[in-house]
Amino acid sequence: MSRELAMQVGRARGAYLPIVMATIEAETNFRNVLGEYAAATARFGIGFGQVHLRWHFATLQQVARELNVALPSEVNPLGDDRANEPFRRLLLGNALLSMHFAVAVIQRTWLGSGANWDRFTEFYVGRGISARDRERRRVIWHRWLAYFGVPTPVPPVATPVPPPVAPPVAADEPLIALGFFVLVIVLVALAIKGVRRLTA
């Protein structure tokens, strides 16, 4: 059901479906849940896209207006996301709002990255993403690209630079060089002979 909801909302918002589907699968496997992080000071992501209210509250306000959903007013959304119990309850209890919120943030981040998967992943997840998580997400991304019939991007391959090569030698160049050498010898011999005559 949640996959269908992600597709439906992605289409309705005009979002790029491969990045929407890949991101939501990578974040929560299409579940509307509260994130769980080991660090006690970590901020919790909320919903299908594990979005942080602290950074995306304006987007939540916009989406709530579009869907005619009233937002709680008694909690400061810019504080610790874990303390925003009314917002958590609202998002986790309203799958449509949560999905619209996730898709809107994913699409905005995708466009902000220049539609570049590597930059998107760094922006969405953070620069501290591990190589293992990046590769896990890349596999999911490629699977969704294939699902939508989009060719999988091939990473650029460095073209080997050939070693410098001496310019080609024309077939008659050695003869010209030999002729020039002989001419120099003859001129030197004549110069020596001329000097001898003058001194004799």
58-67, 99-108, 187-196 — which is least confidently predicted? 187-196
Q: Where are the alpha helices (DSSP H) in 71-172?
A: 85-93, 95-112, 117-125, 131-147
Residue 190 covered by a domain: no
| C-alpha distances in Å from residue 91, one per residue of 50, 63, 65 | 11, 12, 14
Q: What mean pLDDT do residues 128-133 have?
A: 92
Mean pLDDT of the chain: 83
83 within some domain: yes
Domain that holds residue 103: 2-147
Q: Is residue 182 part of a domain?
A: no
- % pLDDT > 90, the chain: 52
Residue 172 lies in a domain: no
Question: Quick one: pLDDT at residue 109?
Answer: 96
User: What pLDDT shows up at residue 117?
Assistant: 95
- How much is the average pLDDT of 91-117? 96
Rounded CA-CA distance 164/171 in Å is 21
**pLDDT over 90 (residue 110):** yes
Give domain status of residue 197, yes or no. no
- Give 117-128 pLDDT, tens digit per residue: 999 999 999 989
Residue 89 domain flag: yes
Q: Are 109 and 122 in contact (CB under 8 A)?
A: no
Please return the burial class of 60, using the count of CB atoms within 10 Å of its CB with bins 0-12, 13-18 and 19+: buried
In a domain, 107, yes or no: yes
Asked whether residue 194 is assigned to any structural domain, the reply reads no
Look at 116 and 159; give whichever has higher pLDDT: 116
pLDDT of residue 86: 84
Q: List the CATH number of the domain containing 63.
A: 1.10.530
pLDDT tens-digit profile of 145-159? 999 999 887 665 555
Domain count, the chain: 1
